[in-house]
Amino acid sequence: MTKQEKQERRLQKKEERQLQKQHKKEVERRNAERELALQNNPDVICLLKKKKKGLLRIVFSRFGLSAILLLLQAGLIFVMFGTDFENPDIITVLLAFFSLFMFIHLFRSEMSSSAKLTWLFMMGLFPIPMSIMLWYTERDAGHITVRDRMRGLIRQTHHKLPQDEEVLKAPEIVKSNTDSLCRYLNQSGCFPLYHNTQVTYFPLGEDKFAAM
């Protein structure tokens, strides 16, 4: 390969890299415009909010919480043994009672035996941070947030699926005494009842194809 061919090849690769960068920037720009349009559209409801990025995502994650709690435990140990603390025995006794209380709470919980042993080992090493982490996981704050979010979305979109009252007045619904149940489900959630939804069940797939 001659020197000129090598130079042309380098220029070609450089142009390809530039085109790839331009394409990537164009895709990111389109995605940003699409997200902005969806956020500004009142008819669009996002199930999940955009996640935090960078340092905030680490701070508010379980890893960040664990790191903060471990630093708290290390600071407490330093105060007890690394400084001229007058009564370190008091903190030791309080930690012992606190650990005993958390162990009793752990054994009374409904989690599996393997999970209890894991928590027992971690709480034996780091009583305070692991106890707070146990409380955090038992509260299940993430699930509660998602549950409240879903309930709010159901309330916001309840009017988009109205219940046809004529359907509830159908003879087969009235005779079966399920009209009140249908009204309850539609009021508590968003589950309207429809008509013309007959379904035929076949014992075998061959029977279905024969009927088709």
Tell me if 147 is assigned to some domain. no
Query: Whole domain around residue 95: which residue ranges?
Result: 60-139
Segment 19-77, tens digit of pLDDT: 888 888 888 888 888 777 777 776 665 655 555 555 666 655 666 666 776 777 677 76
pLDDT for 29 equals 85
Tell me if 77 is assigned to some domain. yes
Task: Count CA within 13 A, CB hemisphere, residue 166.
Answer: 2
Tell me if 198 is assigned to some domain. no
Tell me if 73 is assigned to some domain. yes
Task: Judge whether 140 and 166 are in contact, CB under 8 Å.
Answer: no
**3-class DSSP state of 89:** helix
Q: Which residues of the chain have pLDDT under 70?
A: 1, 42-66, 69, 73, 77, 79-88, 141-142
Q: How many domains, the chain?
A: 1
Tell me if 109 is assigned to some domain. yes
Residue 182 amino acid letter:
C
Separation of alpha carbons 40 and 160, rounded Å: 20
Which sign does the torsion angle of CA 32, 36, 39, 45 carry? negative
Tell me if 39 is assigned to some domain. no
Tell me if 205 is assigned to some domain. no
Tell me if 23 is assigned to some domain. no
Task: Judge whether 163 and 192 are in contact, CB under 8 Å.
Answer: yes
